[in-house]
Amino acid sequence: MTLINGATEKYGIIGNPVAHSFSPSMQTKAFQALGINAVYLPFLAQADQLGELLQAFQLIGLKGFNVTVPFKEAILPHLDELSPEAQALGSVNTVTLQEGKWIGYSTDGAGFVRGLAELDFTPKKAEICLLGAGGSAKAIAWALAQAGAAHLTLLNRSPEKAVALQNLLRQAFPPLSLSTKNQGQDFDLLINATSLGMKDGCPADNKLIAQAKRVSDIIYNPPQTELLRRARKLDKATQNGAAMLLYQGAIAFEIWTKQPAPVTVMQNSLAESLQTLRS
């Protein structure tokens, strides 16, 4: 195991709150697993001090950081460049320092799509129903479109937000078929990207669940939402949000280190952290 010394590289996460984050443990273990001399720390940030914080990060030689709630949008004006996804989504969760410039990325959507392998599923040519039109839903919809989905049905409590997301995708991915109404067809995948189910409630009725072959809920706490419980009763393959959480972090790690992430190590770390929520 690499010990901290004068050459230790520094990474971190900014958020408010940030103490609950699993990323410091997951990323530090990933660095250790590959023998990279680096640490990853939590930084409690304030909205009106983001510019000063980034200056301080440069002064202390921080190489990169993650961004969590509530700064995924607020960080944008403080960055020098954005990846095409981050630019289109107006949201950043990963920042790297390159030649003195802060470059912002959004790895949530790509992380979700990579995690679909755990369901033995690839979005290419698939018919998908996505519930929600908030930050996570936007990132997921963008990544599904990029991965070659054939059709996306976008359903949201506030329908105007689903229509706005449809318009964004229509401009960026002209061949993609889109709808903001459930037309009763079968879906290869139903995704919950709303926050409904974190405490109670279910974002889909049994009729909609029955239309889908598989169900993925991006909520990871609780591990079994009411949606996943109902889907399992209907014999659907299911997945919770731990996969997205893992792979968004794995992709961030790969952006910083340019090496394949030690996914099993990161997965074990996450499983341990998630276990502490339940004990």
The residue (of 97 and 244) whose beta carbon lies closer to ligand NDP is 244
The residue (of 117 and 198) whose beta carbon lies closer to ligand NDP is 198
Is residue 72 part of the annotated active site? The answer reads yes
In terms of Cα–Cα distance, which of 171, 103, 112, 181 is closest to 141?
Answer: 112
Told to check if 30 binds ligand NDP by CB under 6 A, we report: no
Q: Please identify which residue in 30, 54, 245, 261 interacts with ligand NDP, judged by CB under 6 A.
A: 245
Told to check if 115 binds ligand NDP by CB under 6 A, we report: no
Number of other residues whose CB lies within 10 A of the CB of residue 181: 10
Binding to ligand NDP in span 161-200, by CB under 6 A: 161, 193-196, 198
**What is the smallest separation between the CB atom of 31 and ligand NDP, expressed in angstroms?**
20
Only one residue has tokens 């049994």, namely: 206
| Contacts with 104 (C-beta within 8 Å, 6 or more apart), sequence order | 75, 76, 79, 81, 82, 83, 86, 92, 94, 95
Pairing of strands 9-15, 38-44: parallel
The residue (of 244 and 261) whose beta carbon lies closer to ligand NDP is 244
In terms of Cα–Cα distance, which of 212, 163, 217, 216 is closest to 184?
Answer: 212
**What is the smallest separation between the CB atom of 160 and ligand NDP, expressed in angstroms?**
9
DSSP 3-state of 236: coil
Told to check if 113 binds ligand NDP by CB under 6 A, we report: no
**Of 72, 161, 233, 258, catalytic:** 72
End-to-end alpha carbon distance in the chain: 28
Site string for ligand NDP, 208-237 (x = CB under 6 A): ----------xxx-----------------
Residues 211, 195 contacting (CB under 8 angstroms): no
Q: Across the chain, where does the E strand assignment appear?
A: 9-15, 38-44, 62-67, 81-82, 94-98, 101-105, 127-131, 151-155, 177-179, 187-192, 212-217, 237-239
Told to check if 158 binds ligand NDP by CB under 6 A, we report: yes
The residue (of 57 and 238) whose beta carbon lies closer to ligand NDP is 238
Residues 81, 103 contacting (CB under 8 angstroms): yes
**What is the smallest separation between the CB atom of 195 and ligand NDP, expressed in angstroms?**
3
Told to check if 156 binds ligand NDP by CB under 6 A, we report: yes
**What is the smallest separation between the CB atom of 55 and ligand NDP, expressed in angstroms?**
27
The residue (of 205 and 235) whose beta carbon lies closer to ligand NDP is 205
Task: Report the alpha-carbon distance of residue 12 to residue 15 in Å, rounded.
Answer: 10
Instruction: Cite the active site residues.
Output: 72
Residues that bind ligand NDP (CB under 6 A): 108, 132-137, 156-158, 161, 193-196, 198, 203, 218-220, 241, 244-245, 248
